[in-house]
Amino acid sequence: METLGGAEFAPEMTYLNTSTCGLLPRRAVAAVKLLADELAAGRPGGAGEYSSVSAARQSFARLTGVDETRVAVGGSVSVHVGLIATSLPPGAEVLFPEGEYASVITPFLVRGDLKLRYAPLQRLADAVQPGTALVAFSSVQSADGRIADLAAIRAAAAAHGARTLVDASQSAGWLPLDAGAWDFTVTGGFKFLLCPRGVSFLTLSEEAQESVAPIHAGTFAAEDLWATTYGPIEELAPSAARYDEPPAFLSYHGAKESLALLEETGIDAVYAHDTALARRFRAGLTELGHQPVPGDSAIVAVPGLGHRVPGLADAGVILAERAGNLRAAFHLYNTAAEVDRVLDVLSG
């Protein structure tokens, strides 16, 4: 089993930590360096090219099956979630999985006038009830790689008239995502999408856009991008672009290249590659007497082994510790030989 990345990547260690931060492809590094050099020299066009932002938006839209008019760009998931949180009426109930990532929960918590409720991930669909306004959850859990029952949650939300918010930060880039099936999706680009930090995406259904105010609207939210730079913007973009944050151009110059690589490779191919490596790792762990969290995720967690992370790093194997778990995340630049390498280190 070979890497899908080919010569696009240059890891110097056995890197199985994409859930923390994905490796940048060589082409993305080159794009960022080029812009940085131009900025140091004094480029006539200023901070960067908006065409790179547009290209990244379009790539993400194609990768997730929605029209680009439904995609807003930004810099962090928590800002996107905060935008959604402000749209809810006082007293609205928001349902989360227990142990959900903080960035999905906290923007709702700090409102102070919402009802927050929690349920085990495996029973999240059953916990949706009349009066639930929003179900907010990660499609793949950060702490242990568990995949939510997306079909069941979507059906339960529809049955009770609840909207849905999916954080795809731990899945977009390896797990096929139909963003059009959800009212909102938020995705940090610096993990499996292989973008530099400072790139994130928000998708909104057309109906959802009617109820969310673009409260941080600035120059980049305008219909005619540079027509109104002084005074109030008279016409906001009719698309989700009215929710855009000012883009970090260095990051988006890299993102354009990273997302193009994923399009060229194909998410179905990445899914097959990543999950095959994860299955190999789970089987090897079981042979060693460890019990990984079950499932068919590209993220593998082993409860109680988080303390092995420093020793693995000393051996040149990079994983993460999350909630006491040893967490490995496989992506297109990993190989079967690397799976065997980490198992060998663990067995020692």
pLDDT over 70 for what percent of the chain?
100
Question: Which CATH architecture does the domain made up of 29-264 adopt?
Answer: 3-Layer(aba) Sandwich (3.40)
Residue range 49-100, pLDDT digits in tens? 999 999 999 999 999 999 999 999 999 999 999 999 999 999 999 999 999 9
What is the side-by-side order of every strand in the sheet holding 93-97?
Answer: 71-74, 200-204, 184-188, 163-167, 132-138, 93-97, 115-119
Q: Structural domain boundaries of the chain?
A: 6-25+266-347, 29-264
HSE of 130, CA atoms in CB hemisphere, 13 A: 0
Task: Return the SS3 of 116.
Answer: strand
pLDDT per residue as tens digits for the range 144-203: 999 999 999 999 999 999 999 999 999 999 999 999 999 999 999 999 999 999 999 999
Contact 241, 72 (CB under 8 A): yes
Using DSSP's 3-state secondary structure scheme, residue 86 falls into: helix
Bridge-based pairing of strands 200-204 and 71-74 is: antiparallel
CA-based nearest residue to 31, from 10, 52, 55, 47? 52
The model's confidence at residue 4, banded by pLDDT at 50, 70 and 90, is confident
> What's the CATH architecture for 6-25+266-347?
Alpha-Beta Complex (3.90)
Predicted pLDDT of residue 184 = 98
Task: Show the tokens assigned to 177.
Answer: 């995502």
Rounded Cα gap, residues 247 and 238, in angstroms:
19
d(CA 303, CA 326): 7
pLDDT of 2 strictly over 80: no
